[in-house]
Structure 1
Amino acid sequence: MKQDNLFTEKFLEELQKWEDFVPQEFFSWLFKNLGLAHRAIHLKNHPHDKGNGFYQRNLQIGGLSFPVEIARTRYEKFRPFFLPPGHTRYLPEDYLNLAFSFLLGARSIQSASRALQNIDLPFNQDYLDEVIEEFVTYLETLNSSPLPSDLAAIFLDGKSIRQKVKEGKEVREYTTYVALGLTLEGQKLILGLYTFEGQESQENWKKVLEKLIQRGLRRILIVVHDDFPGLSSLTEAFFPRADIQLCTVHLLRNARKHLSREHYRTFRDYFQSIKNSLNYEEGLRLFEALLEKLPQGLRFVKRVANRKERYLAFLKYPKELRPLFSSTNLAEGLNRKIEEAERACGGYFHSERDRNFRYGVLAKELLEGRWRRPNWKYREIAHLLRCLFEERFSKDDH
């Protein structure tokens, strides 16, 4: 017990010496002390063994190399847990995300900075600013870089958020307009995460679509979004040759809300069968038959009947793509991550920079993680997408 207290005291004394740092010095210090902590546990479990100083190793995380004093013992074959196997010098890049993870989990950038200072960890504000700026710049680049002129699909969805503004430190409502894409090769893309003050509006959707056009987007097979007022007419004006697909998940939610329990069950069961139709024409015929089974006086039924072609556009595409093209689930998946980031901040983003930092993290996580390569199902039917595209746009000038 005395030995443990002695180790803790020395560890805290060492922390007090840090006023500034460079990354290499920090990781040298960190892994030396991780090794000491592991050795303290080892010696407690092996009373006959003794500490025997250190030996030098050079380790590397990504492109960052640094020397480490590795704690050793005299009798037992002791090896700190973090050392890579054999004489390999490369450590997992997860260690490099230590400061970044701390930032992401904090309520705000300022609170992360204060916490790091209070516990005397060797991070200075300049380094934190570099980490934050990397992701803010990543989002800015994502929202402004050139886009492919041709895409298989785009997915649009608005996400209401709350954000503190500098003037008076009040919290105001904003909307993030999420635009995702699918290439003809089956690659998922984030086309933009644009945030405007106020509730979701047709005017702001027009600004978003104009930005996508200005960045080079021209021809699309299908545009998928919910039935937000005026959005269909906008997307049709910007992409007149594209199919417009209204989200079928929203359709079912609205059916549950507006229909009786018995009629909703009928609607749900029939619609599941329609989603498996052989083709668009058959699906349309079955959908019309379904609507005839519902009370014709209901406003919901009339509204759906007027939009039936836009609820079934996904049936024009290969069956592998129908689950993707029939709803805004792809965009809503990103919206859920935005909600998680918002909750981690305490229910609202503390500044525009804080919001953009977290958005940059989410975007990079997806684009350099799960979305880095096309889904194998989409890749296998890429030739079918190409054929559909050439058939629809064969008369266009390239």
Structure 2
Amino acid sequence: MARTRYEKFRPFFLPPGHLRYLPEDYLHLTSSLLLGSRSIDSASRALKNMGLPINQDYLEEVIEEFVTYLEDLNSCPLPSDLAALILDAKHIHQKLKDGQKVMGHTTYVALGLTLDGQKKILGLYTFEGSESLEGWKKTLEKLLQRGLRGILIVIHDDFPGLLGLTSSLFPQADIQLCTVHLCRNARKHLSQENYRTFKSYFKSIKASLSYEEGLRLFDSLLKELPQENTFVKLLAKKKEHYLAFLKYPEEVRPLFSSTNLAEGINRKIEEAERACGGYFHSERDRDFRYGVLAKELLEGRWRRVNWKYQRVAHLLRYLFEERFKNEDLLV
């Protein structure tokens, strides 16, 4: 007996009616126009004015695909074990829901490196206001709720209070403060002569054969710098957190010593913000662009694992198993 078909029934293997004979170039044009326009509304108007055979429903489908991609990325279960967690924040501007006022928001970027060297975007969470410790608490709580537990090393900058927060949430992890930010601050807070001394020593410190050797060189550096300087006192207090990356194989130290990986995401966010005219015109517009950004990375060049990392992956897994052998975190 033939089944009753609803009025809108269409076999799954057929494309939507308005796309059936649509050249593929039009589809690329639609995506490019969405990304290049200041807002979703302006892209919709441009397509309508061009008289292309692309209706509003299809435009909404394209947008929804990437918005959903980001939502899934921010809510899917996470692996309980990671080699590294990399944190950074990016201040953005966005229109509020009423569309009348542009306010500052902060996107909290959380990236992960698996024990096998796979790069992952764990979350791109956006909250109203400037970067804050409360924003970081919300972000890290979300990651924990999604299953994140055992980490070898957590990498972030020295945002006030963040070191204490990550140390308390991940007590068995090494906490690494970004060495790129360290060098920038050294240049800012030291005299030219003292900065030259710092730069020379730190080059040798990064090339140390061991963590212990790095600490000895760092102590020697501190003796060469003015002891009354507030910045130098801070270095002495947090030296272990600036050198934690030296506990790991040379092949992964560039990834473990700075937030550069997250800074790359921030640059892409800046590019998306500029394409919108300096601010995101809506939450949906922002999430669409973040979804495109994430998908291009995760399904593009981030799919390949660095060969240097692969060479020492077994050592990282051994370190992880030794550190968490009494915990219920092992794969």
* TM-score of the alignment, normalized to the shorter chain, above 0.5: yes
Q: What's the CA shift for 1:394?
A: 1.3
Task: Give the equivalent residue in structure 1 for 2:222.
Answer: 291
Determine if the alignment matches structure 1 residue 280 to structure 2 residue 280.
Answer: no
Q: What's the CA shift for 1:383?
A: 0.3
Determine if the alignment matches structure 1 residue 27 to structure 2 residue 23.
Answer: yes
Q: Residues 39-79 of structure 1, C-alpha deviation per residue, up to 9 Å, x if partnerless?
A: xxxxxxxxxxxxxxxxxxxxxxxxxxxxxxxxxxxxxxxxx
* C-alpha separation in 1, matches of 2:46 and 2:297: 28
* C-alpha separation in 2, matches of 1:24 and 1:272: 61
Match runs of 1:104-253 below 5 Å: 104-167=35-98, 169-253=100-184
1:244–1:310 contact (8 Å) kept in structure 2: yes
* C-alpha separation in 1, matches of 2:190 and 2:47: 55
DSSP 3-state at the match of 2:316: helix
Q: What's the CA shift for 1:21?
A: 6.3
2:125–2:139 contact (8 Å) kept in structure 1: yes
2:99–2:281 contact (8 Å) kept in structure 1: no
- 1:181 is aligned with what amino acid? G
1:274–1:286 contact (8 Å) kept in structure 2: yes
* C-alpha separation in 2, matches of 1:308 and 1:158: 23
Q: How many residues align?
A: 314
DSSP 3-state at the match of 1:381: helix
Q: What's the CA shift for 1:178?
A: 0.1
Which of the pair has more CA radius of gyration?
Answer: 1
1:247–1:327 contact (8 Å) kept in structure 2: yes
* C-alpha separation in 2, matches of 1:258 and 1:98: 49
Q: What RMSD in Å do the two structures reach over aligned CA positions?
A: 1.3
Q: What's the CA shift for 1:97?
A: 2.8
Match runs of 1:1-398 below 5 Å: 22-27=18-23, 96-167=27-98, 169-398=100-329
DSSP 3-state at the match of 1:349: coil
DSSP 3-state at the match of 2:281: coil
1:21–1:123 contact (8 Å) kept in structure 2: no
* C-alpha separation in 2, matches of 1:123 and 1:169: 30
2:18–2:55 contact (8 Å) kept in structure 1: no
DSSP 3-state at the match of 2:226: coil
Task: Give the equivalent residue in structure 1 for 2:5.
Answer: none
* C-alpha separation in 2, matches of 1:168 and 1:315: 49
The share of aligned pairs that are identical, in percent, is 74
- Structure 2 unaligned regions, length at least 5: 1-15
Task: Give the equivalent residue in structure 2 for 1:45.
Answer: none
- 1:137 is aligned with what amino acid? T
Q: Residues 196-237 of structure 1, C-alpha deviation per residue, up to 9 Å, x if partnerless?
A: 000111111011111001000010000000000011111111
* C-alpha separation in 2, matches of 1:318 and 1:294: 29
- 2:287 is aligned with what amino acid? N
Q: TM-score, normalized by length of structure 2?
A: 0.93
* C-alpha separation in 2, matches of 1:145 and 1:166: 26
Q: Runs of at least 4 residues of structure 1 off by over 4 A?
A: none
Task: Give the equivalent residue in structure 1 for 2:10.
Answer: none
DSSP 3-state at the match of 1:307: helix
Q: What's the CA shift for 1:373?
A: 2.5
Q: Residues 373-392 of structure 1, C-alpha deviation per residue, up to 9 Å, x if partnerless?
A: 22221112110101111111
Q: What's the CA shift for 1:166?
A: 2.5
* C-alpha separation in 1, matches of 2:328 and 2:320: 14
DSSP 3-state at the match of 2:303: coil
* C-alpha separation in 1, matches of 2:17 and 2:230: 66
Q: What's the CA shift for 1:96?
A: 4.4
Q: TM-score, normalized by length of structure 1?
A: 0.77
- Structure 1 unaligned regions, length at least 5: 1-19, 31-94
* C-alpha separation in 2, matches of 1:169 and 1:26: 37
Q: What's the CA shift for 1:24?
A: 2.6
* C-alpha separation in 2, matches of 1:21 and 1:305: 68
1:153–1:224 contact (8 Å) kept in structure 2: yes
Task: Give the equivalent residue in structure 2 for 1:71.
Answer: none
2:176–2:242 contact (8 Å) kept in structure 1: yes
2:94–2:279 contact (8 Å) kept in structure 1: yes
Q: Which moved more, 1:252-261 or 1:163-172?
A: 163-172
DSSP 3-state at the match of 1:199: coil
2:99–2:282 contact (8 Å) kept in structure 1: no
